[in-house]
Chain A
Amino acid sequence: QVQLVQSGAEVKEPGSSVKVSCKSSGSIFSNYAITWVRQAPGQGLEWMGGIIPLFGTAIYAEKFQDRVTITADESTRTAYMELSRLKFEDTAFYYCARAGREYQLLSWSDPWGQGTLVAVSS
C-alpha cells in the first residue's frame, strides 16, 4: 500500500522561499505522477502542478509558473515542491498526491500526503 509522508510545518517571511518534501513508500515510485495541490484555510483545492519521476519534466499551472519548481529524486523516492517569492496569500496546506494511472499526469489522485502547513508571516 502506497504511503506519502510530507515534511513538517513551516513559517516563512514574505519574499522568501519554502521547499516541501513528499516521501513515497510501498509501491513503484517512478511510473506514477506526483501532483501538488494547495488549500488555503477554509477554501477549496487548487492544483499547482505535477511530475512523473521517470520522465523528470514538471508541468505547472499557469498561475504558479514563475514561482514554483517541482522535482523528484528516484533514488530516495521523494518529490519536492519549492515555492518562491512567498506572499501572505500563500498561507495554506500543501498536499502531495499520487496519480491513480501509470505514466499519466492527468489522473485522479490517490493516496494523498498528510499535508504541510506553510504560514507566511512577518
Chain B
Amino acid sequence: EVQLVESGGGLVKPGGSLRLSCAASGFTFNSYTMSWVRQAPGKGLEWVSSISSNSYYIYYADSVKGRFTISRDNAKNSLYLQLNSLRAEDTAVYYCARDVLAKIEFDYWGQGTLVTVSS
C-alpha cells in the first residue's frame, strides 16, 4: 500500500525557517517524480515544487523560488522541502504527492502538514 506521511509543520515567525519531510513507503520511491502542493486556509490548491526521480530536474512556483528548496534522499525514501524567509502568505497545509508522469499527475497524496507563519 502506497503511503506518504508528511511531518515538520508548525508555527514559525515571519522570516523564519522550517524543514518539511515526507516519508514514502509501498512503492519504488526512486522511480517517481515527487512534488509539494499547498493549500492556504479556505483557499485552493497551489503547486509549489517538483523534483525528478534522480533530482536532475527541479521546478518551483514563482511564489517560492529563491526561498524554498526541494530535495530527496532515495536511500531513505524521503522527500524534503526547506522553507526559508517565510511570510504570512506561506501559511498553508503542505501536501506531498507522487507524480506519475512528472507533470502534475498526482496519483497519491499525503494527509498534509500545517505550516503557520505568524508573529
Are A and B subunits of one complex? no
- Chain A interfacial positions (CB closer than 8 Å to B): none
